[in-house]
Amino acid sequence: MIELDDQQQRARDWFEQLRDDICAAFEEIEREAGSDAAFTYTPWDRTDPSGEPGGGGVRGVMKGQVFEKVGVNVSTVGGTFEGDFARTIHGADADPRFFATGISLVAHMANPHVPAVHMNTRFLVTTKRWFGGGADLNPPIPYAEDTEAFHARLKQACDAHDPAHYPKFKQWADDYFYIPHRKVHRGVGGIFYDHLEGDFDTNFAFTQDVGRAFLGIFPAIVRHRRNTPFSNADKARQLAWRGRYAEFNLVYDRGTLFGLKTGGNIDAILMSLPPLAAWD
């Protein structure tokens, strides 16, 4: 059992509450579609390389009529980074001890006209304390209306805290969610931020608003597109796009690497992968 200070406990409690709110919203969409699909929750424990308890988390997965596969994971882990990996983590080069708590979500949709989505927010403690995360929309078949609505809601959340946040974090997402070997972006972007340190309450409030913004816009997009008719060609386009998504997550994604390097739960780490994909 990891002993948490007040800031760590507050962050953990929020990420778990956000998980509950998002899962309830997604299950409600399934009910509206006449499906009784629900999340299955699987707790997991982590042992630190030192042999001490290293925290753990809960993997939540739902496979339904609207959400072909959606994972919403929360974790709270701590201990010591192994070897050279500590040098790659902000504030851990001089002291490899760490704490991390966060929520990670990826949704792959049954209808190719409904965009897939990723959202992650986290709080990390090394010799420094910072928040990171963001959200990005990943449509196999993009609609300008959906892209604009998604970005507008994220911009609203950013502007309430600092007008400089949105242009900076949007560009960061554009740069990060890019597949160099394909020379394409993973989707239509969103925001991405990291190493947001300084006043805890200020940065925590912003991170909470990012989660609320996601909850405020993505279910609306799903409801708007879920009944759009689609063809076999549309489905083939979705499966090929999912292949690109899988390539990014397996080759470039920092969260995947962090989970693997810190002894996280393999199924939770790889829940981001689509249920079906195709390569030509």
Query: Is the full-model pTM beyond 0.85?
Result: yes
pLDDT digits over 72-86, tens only? 999 999 999 887 887
- Would residue 278 count as lying in a domain? no
Query: In the annotation, is 118 catalytic?
Result: yes
Question: What pLDDT, on the 0 to 100 scale, is given for residue 90?
Answer: 87
- Lowest mean pLDDT: which of 44-53, 72-81, 116-125? 44-53
pLDDT of residue 67 exceeding 90: yes
Residues in Cβ contact with 35 at an 8 Å cutoff, skipping those fewer than 6 apart: 64, 65, 66
Does residue 160 lie in a domain region?
A: yes
On average, the pLDDT of the chain sits at: 95
pLDDT per residue over 247-263, tens digit each? Answer: 999 999 888 988 888 87
Say if 202 falls within a structural domain: yes
In a domain, 19, yes or no: yes
Which pLDDT score is estimated for 265? 87
CB 22 within 8 A of CB 215: yes
| Residue 24 lies inside a defined structural domain of this protein | yes
For every residue of 31-63, DSSP letters joined together read HHTT-----EEEEEEEE-TTSSEEEEEEEEEE-
Are 108 and 242 spatial neighbours (Cβ–Cβ below 8 Å)? yes
* pLDDT > 90 in the chain, percent: 84
173 occurs within a structural domain = yes
DSSP-assigned beta bridge partners for residue 102: 75, 122
143-202 pLDDT, tens digit each: 999 999 999 999 999 999 999 999 999 999 999 999 999 999 999 999 999 999 999 999
Tell me the mean pLDDT in the region 39-55. Answer: 92
Residue with the larger pLDDT of the pair 62 and 49: 62
Domain tally, the chain: 1
Q: For the chain, where are the E strands, in sequence order?
A: 40-47, 53-62, 67-80, 97-109, 116-125, 129-138, 178-179, 184-185, 189-197
pLDDT level of residue 280 (50, 70, 90 thresholds)? confident
pLDDT > 90? residue 214? yes
pLDDT at 91 over 90: no
- Structural domain boundaries enclosing 212: 6-272
- pLDDT exceeds cutoff 90 at 27: yes
Q: What is the CATH number of the domain that holds 80?
A: 3.40.1500.10
Residue 280, domain member (yes or no): no
Whether 1 has a pLDDT exceeding 80, the answer reads: no
The verdict on residue 279 lying in a domain is: no
Q: Could you tell me what percent of the chain has a pLDDT over 70?
A: 100
From 108, 118, 165, 185, the catalytic residue: 118
Q: Does residue 271 carry a pLDDT above 70?
A: yes
**Farthest-apart Cα atoms in the chain, separation:** 56
Average pLDDT for 10-22: 98
Average pLDDT over residues 9-35: 98
Mean pLDDT of 214-228: 98
The owner of tokens 């709270």 is 76
